[in-house]
Structure 1
Amino acid sequence: MGAGPGHPGLLTLRGQQCLQECDVVLYDGLSNAEMLVHAPQAEHTCVGKHGQTRIWKQQEIIDETIRHAKAGKRVVRLKGGDPAVFARTSEEVNALKAEGIPFEIVPGITAALAAGSFAGIPITHRGIASAVALVTGHEEPGKTESDLDWPALARFPGTLVIYMGVTTVKQWTDALLSAGKDPATPCAILRRCSLPDQQKIQCRLDEVAGHLTPASKFRPPVITIVGDVTGLSDSMDWFSRRPLSGKSILVTRPKDQSDGLVAPLSELGANVVVQPAIEISSPDDWSDVDDAIDQLPTFDSLVFTSRNGVQFFLDRLLARGQDLRCLAGAKIAVVGEATAAALAKYHLRADWVPDVFDADALLETLSSLNPVPSKTLVVRTQRGRDVIANGLRDLGTTVREIVAYQNRDVTAMDEGTLAKLKDQSLDWITLTSPATARNVHRWFGDELSSCKVAVISPLTAETVRELGWRVDAVAQSATMQSLVQAILEVEAT
Structure 2
Amino acid sequence: MTKGKVFLVGAGPGDPDLMTVRARDLLRRADVVVPDRLAPLDLERLAPDARIAQPERLIREARAGRRVVRLRAGDPMTFGHVDEEIDALRRAGIDFEIVPGVTAALAAAACAGIPMTRRDCASRLTFVIGRGPMGEGGVDLDERGTVVSYTGAATLRELAAKLRSGGWPAGTPAAVVEAAATPRHRVVEGTLADIARRARDVRAPAVTFVGKAVGLRAPWFERRPLFGRRIVVTRPRDQAGDLAQRLAELGAEVLTVPTIEIQPVPHARIDDADLLLFTSQNGVECYFRRLRDLGRDSRRLAKTFVAAVGPATAAALERHGVLADFVASEFTSERLAREIAPLGRGKTVLHAGADRTNPEVRRILEKHGAKFRKVTLYRIVPAQRLRCPDADLVTFASAETARQFAARAGTRMPAACIGPVSAKAARDAGFRVAAVAKEYTLEGLVEAIVKWAR
Give the TM-score band, short-chain normalised.
Answer: 0.7 to 0.9
The structural deviation recorded for 1:117 is 1.8
Of 225, 230, 241, the residue aligned with 1:248 is: 230
Q: Indicate which of 253, 261, 271 corresponds to 1:279.
A: 261
State the TM-score, normalizing by the size of structure 1: 0.81
Counterpart amino acid of residue 252 in structure 1? T
* 8 Å Cα contact 2:152-2:205 kept in structure 1: no
Q: CA deviation at 1:205?
A: 3.5
Work out whether 1:429 is the aligned partner of 2:394: yes
Contact 1:169/1:208 (<8 A) preserved = yes
- Are positions 1:323 and 2:330 aligned together? no
Partner AA of 2:22 in structure 1: R
Q: Residues 271-291 of structure 1: CA distance to partner in whole angstroms, max 9, x if unpaired?
A: 2222122222223xx34x1xx
Is the 8 Å Cα contact of residues 27 and 77 (structure 1) preserved in structure 2?
yes
Q: Deviations over 1:95-133 (max 9, x none)?
A: 011011122212112121223321111222222232222
**Taking structure 1 as reference, are residues 344 and 204 closer, same or farther at Cα in structure 2, changes over 3 Å only?**
same
- The one-character-per-residue Cα deviations of 1:172-223 (angstroms, maximum 9, x if unpaired) are 556666777655443211112122441111123454444554xxx4322111
Q: Which 10-residue stretch deviates more, 83-92 or 312-321?
A: 312-321
Which of the numbers 368, 374, 379 marks the counterpart of 1:401?
374
Alignment-mate amino acid for residue 225 of structure 2: P
Question: Are the structure 2 counterparts of residues 351 and 229 from structure 1 closer, same or farther at C-alpha, using a change threshold of 3 Å?
Answer: same
Match of 2:3 in 1: none
Count of residues in correspondence between the two structures: 445
Task: Give matches, 1:162-311, under 5 Å.
Answer: 162-167=149-154, 183-213=170-200, 217-233=201-217, 236-283=218-265, 286-287=266-267, 289=268, 292-293=269-270, 296-297=271-272, 299-311=273-285
Q: Look up the SS of the partner of 1:273 in the other structure.
A: strand
Cα displacement (A) at 1:261: 1.2
Cα distance in 2 for residues equivalent to 1:130 and 1:332: 63
Say if 2:94 is the partner of 1:101.
yes
1:360 and 2:334 correspond: yes
> Do the aligned residues in 2 keep the contact of 1:366 with 1:372 (CA within 8 Å)?
no
Aligned: 1:387 with 2:360:
yes
Is the counterpart of residue 447 in structure 1 residue 412 in structure 2? yes
Tell me which residue corresponds to 1:80: 73
Alignment of 1:45 onto 2:45? no
Q: Which position in structure 1 is the counterpart of 2:57?
A: 64
- In structure 1, the partner of 2:120 is 127
Q: Is the 8 A contact 2:108 2:207 kept in 1?
A: no
Once the 2 structures are TM-superposed, how far is the Cα of residue 477 of structure 1 from its aligned partner? Answer: 2.2
Q: What's the counterpart of residue 482 of structure 1?
A: 444
For residues 35-59 of structure 1, what are the alpha-carbon distances to aligned partners after superposition, in whole Å with 9 as ceiling and x for unaligned? 774544x414265xxxxxxxxxxxx
Question: Structure 1 or 2: larger helix share?
Answer: 1
Per-residue deviation, 1:267 = 2.1
CA RMSD of aligned residues (A): 2.8
Q: Which is worse superposed, 459-468 or 474-483?
A: 459-468
Q: Give the aligned partner of residue 137 of structure 2.
A: 151
Q: CA deviation at 1:362?
A: 0.9
Residues 225 and 101 (structure 1), Cα distance of their counterparts in 2 relative to 1, 3 Å cut: same
Instruction: Tell me if the contact between 1:8 and 1:35 (Cα under 8 Å) persists in the aligned partners.
Output: no
Relative distance call for 1:193 and 1:232 in structure 2 (3 A) is same
Structure 1, gaps ≥5 residues long: 48-60, 140-145
Counterparts of 1:490 and 1:165, CA distance in 2: 35
Cα distance in 2, alignment partners of residues 69 and 335 from structure 1: 51
Partners of 2:10 and 2:445 in 1: how far apart? Answer: 36
Task: Answer yes or no: is the 8 Å Cα contact 1:150–1:175 preserved in 2.
Answer: no
Matched residue, 1:314: 288
Matches of 1:340 and 1:469, distance apart in 2: 31
CA contact (8 A) 2:138 2:162 kept: no
TM-score (norm 2): 0.88
Name the CA distance, whole Å, in 2 between partners of 1:133 and 1:105. Answer: 24
In 2, the alpha carbon distance for the partners of 1:392 and 1:29 equals: 59
Equivalent-residue separation in structure 2 for 1:133 and 1:395 (angstroms): 77
Is contact 2:234–2:401 with CA below 8 Å preserved after alignment?
yes
Deviations 1:404-429 (A, max 9, x none): 11222236533xx53xx4xxxx3332
CA distance in 2: counterparts of 1:46 and 1:2, whole angstroms? 17
The aligned residue for residue 472 of structure 1 is 434
Does the 8 Å CA contact 1:151/1:180 hold for their aligned counterparts?
no
Which residue of 2 is the match for residue 52 of structure 1?
Answer: none
Q: Which of 15, 18, 21 is matched with 2:26 structurally?
A: 18
Contact residue 149 and residue 208 of structure 2 kept, 8 A: yes
242-251 or 15-24, which deviates more: 15-24
Q: 1: CA distance between counterparts of 2:93 and 2:204?
A: 36
What CA distance in whole angstroms lies between the structure 1 residues aligned with 2:243 and 2:24? 23
What SS is found at the alignment partner of 1:103? strand
CA offsets per residue over residues 293-336 of structure 1, 9 Å max, x none? 3xx24x32222221111111220220232333433443222222
CA contact (8 A) 1:188 1:226 kept: yes
Q: 1:267 to 1:439 in 2, by over 3 A?
A: same
- Distance across 1 between alignment mates of 2:349 and 2:323: 17
Give % identity. 37
